[in-house]
Amino acid sequence: MEHGVSFEHCAALKSITYMSKKNPLLAIDTNAKTRKGQAKGFMTGILYLAPSDISGKNLCPHASIGCKAACLFTAGRGAMSPIRNARLKKTMAFLSDRKAFADTIKAEIAKLVKKTSKNGMTPCIRLNGTSDIPWHKVENIIQSFPNVQFYDYTPNLFRMLEFTSGKLPANYHLTFSRKEDNDQAVDSVLKAGGNVAAVFKTLPTSWKGFPVVDGDETDLRFLDGKNVIVGLKAKGQAKKDTSGFVI
């Protein structure tokens, strides 16, 4: 132990930092939807981990059969083995030493902030690209960057109601994820004034009496108005859904 930091932590930090130099933890505008946000002046960093229990530990404790099958882990670049393996390595790094992982993420966020300040863009961060971790409780990552907008989707009703009640960090925005088995929770979120993301085969103009906005235009959910349905088109394996996850 040196200065309160274990040798194991130092070794883990060096290992994760080395890994992130070759394959950064944050994917910066690597998909079409986040790149669309650049037209609005935003540059987005997303952390993609191995979802559900693929890593041996369930990072999506509220996952349903439908959302497991339709997970974005199977869509776009995520369908390619090298990408999936890289995400699994990141997950194992997170599970092996959370603090070292957080320190590396903070360094990458700081780098993104510096980059965007030079080109007149605004940084935003989504840490649950393919996971459902309460990041506001992890090593003060979100709290360390009060001027950076963080956002996520979550099927966790308790966390979502904490957000609508103003109990989460002011720079952390949440959108509730509708699944085939949480209709009552959807109603609770809408009653509380929150937004709900739902996957459709064809986007309607309204759902459950609330206006539907096209969630595929950009990924900037914190710019959506209040009490709206964020309509998403089925992607990847979701196109074959029969569970009711896709409306």
Name the residue with higher pLDDT: 50 or 159.
159
Name the residue with higher pLDDT: 205 or 85.
205
H-type alpha helices, the chain: 7-22, 32-36, 65-70, 81-96, 98-119, 157-164, 183-191
Q: In this predicted structure, what is the pLDDT of residue 12?
A: 61
Rounded to the nearest 5°, which phi and psi values hold at 165? -90, 0
Question: pLDDT band for position 90 (50/70/90)?
Answer: very high
* Cα–Cα distance measured from residue 182 to residue 234, given in angstroms and rounded to the nearest whole number: 18
DSSP state letters, 8-59: HHHHHHHHHHHHHHHS-SEEES-SHHHHHGGGGTEEEEEE----TTTTSS-S
Q: In this predicted structure, what is the pLDDT of residue 168?
A: 98
Kindly report the average pLDDT of the chain as a whole number.
88
Q: Does the structure show a pLDDT above 60 at 84? A: yes
Q: What is the pLDDT of residues 125-136, one digit of tens each?
A: 999 999 999 999
Q: Are 34 and 44 in contact (CB under 8 A)?
A: yes
* Cα–Cα distance measured from residue 197 to residue 219, given in angstroms and rounded to the nearest whole number: 11
Q: Does the structure show a pLDDT above 50 at 78? A: no
Mean per-residue pLDDT, 217-226: 96
Q: In this predicted structure, what is the pLDDT of residue 52?
A: 56
Lowest mean pLDDT across 16-25, 101-110, 201-210: 16-25
Q: Are 228 and 213 in contact (CB under 8 A)?
A: yes
Q: In this predicted structure, what is the pLDDT of residue 15?
A: 67
Structure-block tokens of residue 92: 């194992």
- Picking from 59, 87, 61, the residue whose alpha carbon sits closest to that of residue 73 is 87
Q: What is the pLDDT of residues 112-161, one digit of tens each?
A: 999 999 999 999 999 999 999 999 999 999 999 999 999 999 999 999 99
Q: Which percentage of the chain shows pLDDT scores above 90?
A: 68
Q: What is the pLDDT of residues 31-45, one digit of tens each?
A: 888 899 999 999 999
Residues 6+ apart with CB under 8 A from 115: 43, 121, 123
Q: In this predicted structure, what is the pLDDT of residue 86?
A: 86
Name the residue with higher pLDDT: 58 or 133.
133
Using the structure block, give the residue that is written with the tokens 């088995």.
Answer: 181
Name the residue with higher pLDDT: 17 or 189.
189
Name the residue with higher pLDDT: 2 or 56.
56
Lowest mean pLDDT across 39-43, 86-90, 198-202, 243-247: 86-90
Q: In this predicted structure, what is the pLDDT of residue 203?
A: 96
